[in-house]
């Protein structure tokens, strides 16, 4: 009974993390009796990893039938998704958003040769209306989070992320900048102080390149179908970015001074 509960818990957790992970684990449990080497926990984990890897290509092909395609895991024309989002199949978008992001990455690389555009969590491969925890709005292929650009020791640091997952290295408001939500965690607005040791201290926000991205989204992006870009008010002010699509997500949603949220109209 305990074992059954444990397997059910693993299936739920893997489904929340990767959408297809839970079903893959269920398949591994079903196939397990056929492979004597999979009788141990380690063997079961190995069988799961093997099935998960084998499913990789078909998932992309089946997702295409439903109108979603993966952002590249190996950089293409300056654009790539983070390793975490790729491994967990959290890098799927609609063809329309794919094209806008490709155009953004190309323009950024043209303006700043060598610059890389890094996507973080996007959407799962299948089904509209299934959110990608903890991003409740990422449920239709039309949402994506982008990493900021960073510099290191005074020089650009193309493609580098400020934490292993790309999130939660917040650009704190400075004295005199707008602070509409105060400083406490509330709702889904987490300050994640415990995570600070896992973030990189040697990277600083590359204000020029990040400003270029935000302005591109506010103008060219808006012309190409971008409807909303979430960024904290203090960063929009500091970087001098404005436009109809530049929005504040409110005080009960996740902070947006560690990444940029982008969505189609
Ligand atoms: Zn988002």
Per-residue pLDDT tens over the stretch 28-58: 999 999 999 989 999 999 999 999 999 988 9
3-state secondary structure at position 178 = coil
CA of 145 to the centre of ligand 1 (A): 5
Model pLDDT, residue 2: 81
Residue 189 confidence (pLDDT) above 90: no
Model pLDDT, residue 98: 98
| 24 in Cβ contact with 88 (< 8 Å) | no
What does the alpha-carbon distance between residue 18 and residue 15 come to, in Å, rounded to a whole number?
A: 5
Model pLDDT, residue 182: 76
Residue spans in the chain of domains classed CATH 3.30.1380.10:
60-264
Interval 106-123 mean pLDDT: 97
pLDDT band at 191 (very low <50, low <70, confident <90, very high): confident
Model pLDDT, residue 90: 97
CA of 92 to the centre of ligand 1 (A): 13
CA of 103 to the centre of ligand 1 (A): 19
CA of 223 to the centre of ligand 1 (A): 20
The CATH class that applies to domain 60-264 reads alpha beta
CA of 65 to the centre of ligand 1 (A): 24
CA of 182 to the centre of ligand 1 (A): 21
Model pLDDT, residue 190: 81
CA of 31 to the centre of ligand 1 (A): 37
| 132 in Cβ contact with 88 (< 8 Å) | no
Model pLDDT, residue 97: 98
Average pLDDT, the chain: 93
CA of 226 to the centre of ligand 1 (A): 13
In percent, the amount of the chain with pLDDT more than 70 equals 100
The partner residues of 189 in beta bridges, in order of sequence, read 186
Interval 75-100 mean pLDDT: 96
Model pLDDT, residue 262: 97
What does the alpha-carbon distance between residue 7 and residue 100 come to, in Å, rounded to a whole number?
A: 41
Q: How far is CA 54 from the centre of its chain?
A: 23
pLDDT digits (tens, 9 = 90+) for 246-257: 998 888 888 899
pLDDT band at 196 (very low <50, low <70, confident <90, very high): confident
Query: Helix 2-18 vs helix 21-31: angle between axes, to the nearest 10 degrees?
Result: 140
| 59 in Cβ contact with 65 (< 8 Å) | no
Model pLDDT, residue 251: 82
Whose structure tokens read 């404005």? Answer: 242
What does the alpha-carbon distance between residue 201 and residue 162 come to, in Å, rounded to a whole number?
A: 8
Global pTM reads 0.92
Q: What angle do CA 138, 144, 146 make, to 5 degrees?
A: 140
Q: What is the DSSP letter of 132?
A: B
């Amino acid at each position: 009974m305990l074992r059954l509960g444990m397997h059910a818990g693993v299936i739920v957790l893997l489904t929340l993390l990767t959408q297809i992970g839970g079903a893959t684990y269920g398949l591994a449990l079903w196939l397990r009796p056929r492979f004597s080497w999979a009788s141990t926990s380690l063997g079961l984990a190995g069988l799961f990893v093997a099935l998960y890897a084998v499913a990789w290509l078909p998932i992309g092909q089946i997702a295409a039938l439903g109108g979603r395609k993966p952002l590249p895991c190996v950089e293409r024309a300056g654009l790539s998704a983070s390793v975490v989002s790729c491994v967990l199949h959290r890098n799927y978008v609609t063809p329309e958003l794919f094209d806008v992001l490709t155009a953004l990455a190309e323009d950024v690389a043209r303006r700043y040769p060598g610059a890389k555009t890094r996507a973080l969590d996007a959407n799962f491969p299948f089904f509209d209306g299934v959110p990608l925890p903890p991003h409740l709005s990422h449920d239709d292929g039309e949402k994506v989070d982008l990493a900021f650009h960073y510099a290191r020791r005074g020089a650009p640091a193309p493609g580098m992320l400020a934490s292993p997952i790309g999130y939660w290295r917040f650009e704190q408001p400075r004295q005199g900048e707008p602070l509409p939500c105060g400083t406490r965690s509330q709702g889904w607005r987490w300050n994640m102080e415990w995570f600070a040791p896992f973030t990189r201290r040697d990277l600083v926000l590359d204000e020029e390149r990040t400003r270029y991205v935000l302005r591109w989204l506010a103008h060219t992006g808006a012309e190409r179908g971008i409807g909303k870009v979430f960024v904290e008010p203090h960063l929009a002010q500091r970087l001098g970015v404005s436009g109809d699509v530049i929005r504040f997500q409110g005080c009960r949603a996740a902070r947006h001074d560690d990444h940029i949220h982008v969505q189609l109209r």
